[in-house]
Amino acid sequence: MDSLLGELQQVFRDVLDKKDLVIKPESSALNVEDWDSLNHVVLISAIEKKYHVKFGLAQLQDLKNVGDLLVLLESKLAAKV
């Protein structure tokens, strides 16, 4: 999970244009500057493109933080194998 978190951190840095951003599993739109609704859509799109996965709307509505996103992404990647 740590390497996946590091990869996601780079996506967040690129999308939010914050080169020194550090995300943790408890990070969320509430405590990450510039993570607003528009950037959320861009983040999800960038993650889907990078990992060649597709998230359902219901899955995304259940996400509360980066940790939840990691769990969802790991399950999507495991299903591809």
pLDDT digits (tens, 9 = 90+) for 27-64: 999 999 999 999 999 999 999 999 999 999 999 999 99
Q: If pLDDT is split at 50, 70 and 90, which confidence band does 69 have?
A: very high
* Continuous H helices in the chain: 2-16, 37-51, 57-61, 66-80
CA pair distance 77, 24, nearest whole angstrom: 20
**Ramachandran region of residue 53, left (φ > 0), alpha (ψ -120 to 50) or beta?**
beta
pLDDT of the residue at 80: 81
- Residue extents of the structural domains in the chain: 2-80
State the average pLDDT for the chain: 95
pLDDT for residue 2 is more than 90: no
Instruction: Give the distance from CA 17 to its chain's centroid.
Output: 15
Q: CATH top-level class for 2-80?
A: mainly alpha
pLDDT of the residue at 81: 74
Q: Which residue's structure tokens are 């995304």?
A: 60
